[in-house]
A and B are shown apart, each in its own frame.
Chain A
């Protein structure tokens, strides 16, 4: 049976019970017991590392079903700017957009202008807010989940300026409802996403705000049909793209469009964790803004893209160079929109309510001592054969009553040898 857990669909028939996903998971949310992987929804951050790690195609990103398109009178695709990096630089963004529309949508709404506007809005926010510093970008939903789960103290650092994609969805609905004379709910707005985390933030936001989108589709699924359309002849959409906004496809794009240069870009769960640890420790007092992505190069390395990230980066640079000279967003206009709360989120990102500690300090101390005692007995090979990703996590599982010491093959072997010898 297939089970949906967060952003991930597990295909039971394909899962062989290897431990690649459990060892790849940065939050240790995966266990492999009885030859089947399972994910703890409370610890999963939707980073998609398990999708990348699986060699048996047993873990997929969850997407909207194409049938959802039929529920609407009119459908609009809002693609991530990464889509323009996928087909080489011979095809212009306008051609790629046209190919996207040709594969299942009535129209298209560009997000690149909104990207530059949000860069300016973040500038305005930084100049008016009073800390705590540094402020952290909310673009990557996996980063937000990581903060909610591992760094709840950093929630006040998140910037309450909405993401370009969500603002674009709002604008698209408004624009098409007005021009077509339809009710807003008759128009379906769909995000075309490079990763499972954004998919999840739309399909079933956990701990995040409700989305303005009606669903999301993966770029990887649309890639084949779009390539066929592109090769069949050039269509053109009469849309102008913003080169500075397109840069958001890659890490550094968000900060490059800002006036405030006192920022830092960090990618990959390992480096992000180390930066967040430093913020938590009260360092980084001289940084105003942190752009953080869970994927190694930002969105351009999302799991739902086809083109390799180095080739995609090259394509992006070529497209941007060609677009040079496009007019920039009017800064004063953004400032006044910012004052009129155009960029505000509709709610607050809230840290999950932590259940009151049922454990006293004495009990916690005993548990930790017991964990050290268990670790002395364990082989520390982190082989993951027991089902937990490493020996320390296994010891914690035993103490939580979710595993038995005998699940460790080395412990079992030693017991067998003791009995024989």
Chain B
């Protein structure tokens, strides 16, 4: 069942806006720090958020990054308006990238973005409609099993 939403804050990301690349991820990180969340959780989500944000800047037109806190997890939803991904399985493969030479010159396009998001989070879902856009949903659990 849906858990109650304790907190929600939304950030916007604009495609091609390299000048502000990383700002949304930094704002989410500042919010999580302000809320006193566990540094390990902040670190894992920040890696995911940065990758997700740069994906939007490089490939999509615009997106909303939603930070949602429930009693059990920090969830992030990044929903973009953009070209979408034709073959998600291929995009999830490490090293696969459609980045242009220019993007690679900026240090992106190593084909590690989506795999990195999946690796640093506890749950990860991707949905994409070619020609319309892509939505990423990922989360990090607040109360890990055991005494972790």
Question: Which of B10-18, B33-41, B58-66 lies at the interface?
Answer: B33-41
Q: Is B7 a contact of A368 with CB atoms below 8 Å?
A: yes
Question: Which of A82-90, A107-115, A277-285 lies at the interface?
Answer: A277-285
Q: Would you list which residues of chain A between 272 and 305 have a CB under 8 Å from chain B? A: 277, 280-282
State A152–B38 Cα separation when bound (angstroms).
Answer: 12
State A379–B35 Cα separation when bound (angstroms).
Answer: 24
Chain B 52-86: CB-based contact to A (< 8 A → 1; otherwise 0): 00000000000000000100000000000000000
State A280–B45 Cα separation when bound (angstroms).
Answer: 12
Question: Which of A70-78, A173-181, A233-241, A354-362 lies at the interface?
Answer: A354-362
Q: Is A153 a contact of B39 with CB atoms below 8 Å?
A: yes
Q: Would you list which residues of chain A between 347 and 399 have a CB under 8 Å from chain B? A: 357, 359, 361-362, 364-365, 368-369, 371
Which of B6, B43, B47, B120 contacts A365, CB < 8 Å?
Answer: B6
Q: Which residues of B contact A369 (CB under 8 A)?
A: 7
Is B103's CB within 8 Å of the partner chain A?
Answer: no
Q: Which residues of A contact B36 (CB under 8 A)?
A: 357, 359, 361, 364
Q: Which residues of A contact B34 (CB under 8 A)?
A: 364, 368, 371
Answer whether A280 and B43 are a contact pair too, CB < 8 Å, given A357-B36, A361-B35, A368-B35.
yes
State A152–B29 Cα separation when bound (angstroms).
Answer: 15
Q: Which residues of A contact B35 (CB under 8 A)?
A: 361, 364-365, 368
| B-side interface mostly | helix
Q: Which residues of B contact A364 (CB under 8 A)?
A: 34-36
State A371–B43 Cα separation when bound (angstroms).
Answer: 24
Answer whether A362 and B6 are a contact pair too, CB < 8 Å, given A153-B43, A357-B36, A368-B35.
yes
Is B50's CB within 8 Å of the partner chain A?
Answer: yes
Size category, B interface: 10 to 19
State A153–B42 Cα separation when bound (angstroms).
Answer: 11
State A153–B43 Cα separation when bound (angstroms).
Answer: 10
How far in angstroms is the closest Cβ of chain B from A85? Answer: 36
Chain B 77-115: CB-based contact to A (< 8 A → 1; otherwise 0): 000000000000000000000000000000000000000
Q: Which residues of A contact B120 (CB under 8 A)?
A: 282
Nearest B residue to A396, CB-CB: B34
Is B31's CB within 8 Å of the partner chain A?
Answer: yes
Q: Is B31 a contact of A277 with CB atoms below 8 Å?
A: no
Is B134's CB within 8 Å of the partner chain A?
Answer: no
State A368–B7 Cα separation when bound (angstroms).
Answer: 10
Is B139's CB within 8 Å of the partner chain A?
Answer: no
Nearest B residue to A364, CB-CB: B35
Q: Is A282 a contact of B43 with CB atoms below 8 Å?
A: yes
How far in angstroms is the closest Cβ of chain B from A22? Answer: 21
State A35–B32 Cα separation when bound (angstroms).
Answer: 35
Q: List 12 A-B contacts (CB under 8 A).
A: A280-B46, A281-B25, A281-B43, A282-B43, A282-B120, A357-B36, A361-B6, A361-B69, A365-B69, A368-B34, A368-B35, A371-B34
Please give 4 more A-B residue pairs, beta carbons under 8 A apart, in addition to A361-B142, A364-B34, A364-B35: A361-B6, A361-B35, A362-B6, A365-B6
